[in-house]
Amino acid sequence: MPTLDALIERLPDRPDPGELLAGFVPPPRFAEKRFEDYVPDPRFPSQRAAVERLRGVAASLHAGSLDGWMRRVRAVVGRGTPRGGGTYLDGGFGVGKTHLLAALWNAAPEPRAYLSFDELVYTIGLLGVGGTREAFRGRRLVAVDEWELDDPGNLKLALAFLRGALEDGVHVATTSNTVPDELGHGRFSQKDFRAEIEELASAFEVVRVQGEDYRHRHFEADPGRRYFLPREAVLAAARAAGPGALHAGFPELLSALGRVHPIRYAALAARMDALFVDGLRTVPTLPDALRWVHFVDKVYDDAVPFAASSETDLGALFPAEFLRGPYGKKFSRCLSRMEELLGEQGGAERRAAG
């Protein structure tokens, strides 16, 4: 069984740009998603409407035109962003936006790319705006999951990317928990960047996906302790899981995540056959909480089996002020994904023990 330090030491100090770009495909949990296996909730007609709209986007990409999109490319708005040149899936967490984005990617023609917003920002930092534009030039579709603006720097990078991509004829599709006009709300002064936010928002056609968290169709919306295992059971499961499983204490894991750039969390998750954590407790600081959210996203995307013991209810993992604050949607999404992960693995362990 590898140690946490050993896993971190095996990570490359700096990703190879070619390998990074080649890896921009949907993660294992979403790799095979199709429109056909998305089941719209009849209570929310916007879900079926979103499927039909995205089918139309895919068909238009194959046909080489997106509802007169090239005409809009020539209709410059603001400082150069085409109006409505991309697709923006807006909705709460757990309504299937990532499923739909992956389905669009699978239905779209080659060449194409699929990455998270954090990976996009990292790529721009690695290659520069011009280098990133060149790397994606010629792609028919770039799908970006979880588009979020945490600071003005991200806003400027995102806008520079959009300007170049849309001018080059690349269709950008993205998901978010926040409508474009409200991006950055509570995280930086929107009034100081109103022109940039309006320009960014004008680059997308917004497709609403309303509904409840689909996980709560399968799991009770009660993030208590019932998803956790006793410490002894976690240790036994880790020993039985084989040499590729990671077993770590929660404070140790949080500390390790602070020593690793978040862009490397995907590589870290990919090296784990399973994850077993002892002693989950309330996360003490906002930076630790945000790092944990990003790590859970990668564990979830890679469908890594995850079990844990805990000193608190799942709903108390983040302080109440974090859940009420500007990153509250991130933390709520994290709890929802943890609920699913823990429910999957905890149920399997309980069945094995019984």
Residue-wise pLDDT for 93-141, tens only, equals: 899 999 999 999 999 999 999 999 999 999 998 999 999 999 999 999 9
Helix, strand or coil for residue 94?
Answer: coil
Determine the Cα–Cα distance for residues 116 and 137; give it in Å rounded to an integer. 18
pLDDT value of residue 153: 86
Quote the percentage of the chain above a pLDDT of 70.
Answer: 90
Query: Does the pLDDT at position 66 exceed 60?
Result: no
Which helix (H) or strand (E) segment holds residue 283: the answer is none
The pLDDT tens digits of the residues spanning 141-170 come to 999 999 988 888 888 999 999 999 999 999
For 215-269, write each residue's pLDDT tens digit. Answer: 776 655 566 788 899 999 999 999 999 889 999 999 999 999 999 988 889 999 9
pLDDT tens profile 14-52: 778 888 899 999 999 999 999 999 999 999 999 999 999
Express each pLDDT in 302-347 by its tens digit: 999 999 999 999 999 999 999 999 899 899 999 999 999 998 875 5
- C-alpha 68/C-alpha 296 separation (Å) is 40
Q: What is the pTM of this model?
A: 0.87
Q: For 120, which DSSP code? A: H
Compute the Cα dihedral for 92, 96, 98, 103 and give only its sign: negative
Q: To 10 degrees, the CA torsion angle through 176, 178, 182, 188? A: -80
* 71: pLDDT strictly greater than 70: no
